[in-house]
């Protein structure tokens, strides 16, 4: 591992986050085993909707274990667990009454994610938080992460834990390559919808939990990110993306809520990191 390359990446992270508001931290890695962080690495931050990636990975583990299936009925009539994870069940952002048939619109839905967690809990015969802890947090050593409420938006933890999640999403060990490929590819890829903070996108691609970048514009990742990039960001100022083509993952946490600063800062950091780490 080149010390010069490590130093360059640290400088990129440190110089970028020094311009972000509030307390902050960022971490990047590649498949060549180069991982670097900067900022308040051990401080606890709110993850907001990045929590959905924890929910997603927990569901993927449950699929591997045979507890649930992506095709199994869950949520509104005609909906499956896959529909819920991909925001395609027809449920609204909040509320239990569907506003569209399953598979017809991409409607970003906290209720859908919570319904997926309830479905897993019912099939497993245990609280979702317990399944999360046993299936994901403990195996990955995410000892500082706590789910204090909704599985759609209520996790909090330090950057070092978010980095462990990002590394797992880049190089999965808890799930098979087949499940990873299916879950991180666009599901019902033709659906249009609204990407929170960035407006209507047609199509608005989403995997079985993570957002898939596709060709959305504007977007919170960089111009160098491949269309196969997947991840999530949160209104707390947290984000995590994985670019499987580049073989790179990037994550950040901030005490300042998402806003115009993030729309400029995150793509800029993403492009600088990819310029250093992306495969030739």
Q: Which pairs with CB-CB distance under 8 Å and at least 24 residues apart come from 9-16?
A: 9/34, 9/36, 9/273, 9/276, 9/277, 10/36, 10/38, 12/269, 12/272, 12/273, 12/276, 13/37, 13/38, 13/39, 13/269, 13/273, 14/38, 14/39, 16/265, 16/268, 16/269, 16/272
Render each residue's pLDDT in the chain as its tens digit; 280 residues: 578 899 999 999 999 999 999 999 999 999 988 999 999 999 999 999 999 999 999 999 999 999 999 999 999 999 999 999 999 999 999 999 999 999 999 999 999 999 999 999 999 999 999 999 999 999 999 999 999 999 999 999 999 999 999 999 999 999 999 999 999 999 999 999 999 999 999 999 999 999 999 999 999 999 999 999 999 999 999 999 999 999 999 999 999 999 999 999 999 999 999 999 987 6
* pLDDT score for 33: 86
Here the tokens at position 60 are: 């993927």
pLDDT at 110: 98
pTM: 0.97
Q: What is the DSSP letter of 260?
A: H
Packing angle, helices 51-65 and 110-124, rounded to 10: 30
Residues 173, 177, 183, 188: what is their CA dihedral angle, to the nearest 10 degrees? Answer: 170
Report DSSP state, residue 151.
T
What CATH number does the domain located at 3-277 have?
3.40.710.10
Q: In what helix (H) or strand (E) does residue 130 lie, and over which residues does it extend?
A: helix 128-132
Please report the DSSP string for 221-254 in residue order: S-TTS-TT-EEEE-TTS-EEEEETTTTEEEEEEE
So what's the pLDDT on residue 278? 80
Closest by CA position to 211, among listed 43, 80, 5, 56: 56
Give residue for tokens 């996108």: 201
Instruction: Enumerate residues 6+ apart whose C-beta is below 8 A from 89.
Output: 75, 76, 79, 83, 98, 102, 107, 109, 112, 115
Q: Is the dihedral of CA 176, 209, 254, 275 positive or negative?
A: positive
């Amino acid at each position: 591992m080149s010390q010069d390359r490590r130093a360059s990446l640290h400088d990129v992270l440190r110089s970028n986050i020094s311009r972000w508001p509030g307390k902050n931290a960022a971490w990047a890695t590649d498949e060549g085993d180069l991982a670097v962080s900067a900022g308040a690495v051990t401080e606890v931050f709110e993850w907001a909707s990045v929590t959905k990636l924890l929910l997603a990975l927990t569901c993927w583990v449950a699929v591997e274990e045979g507890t649930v299936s992506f095709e199994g009925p869950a949520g509104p009539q005609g909906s499956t667990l896959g529909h819920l994870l991909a925001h395609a069940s027809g449920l609204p952002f909040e509320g239990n009454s569907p506003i569209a048939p399953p598979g017809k619109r991409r409607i970003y839905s906290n209720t859908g994610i919570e319904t997926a967690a309830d479905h897993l809990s019912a099939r497993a015969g245990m609280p979702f938080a317990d399944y999360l802890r046993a299936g994901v947090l403990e195996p990955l050593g995410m000892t500082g992460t706590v789910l204090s409420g909704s599985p759609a938006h209520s996790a909090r933890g330090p950057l070092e834990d978010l980095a462990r999640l990002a590394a797992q999403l880049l190089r999965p060990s808890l799930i098979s390559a087949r499940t990873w490929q299916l879950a991180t590819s666009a599901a019902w890829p033709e659906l249009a919808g609204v990407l929170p903070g960035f407006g209507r996108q047609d199509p608005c691609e989403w995997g079985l939990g993570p957002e898939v970048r596709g060709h959305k514009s504007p977007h919170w990742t960089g111009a160098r990110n491949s269309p196969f990039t997947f991840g999530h960001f949160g209104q707390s100022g947290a984000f995590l993306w994985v670019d499987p083509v580049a073989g790179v993952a990037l994550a950040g946490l901030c005490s300042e809520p998402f806003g115009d600063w993030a729309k400029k800062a995150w793509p800029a950091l993403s492009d600088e990191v990819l310029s250093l780490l992306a495969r030739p």
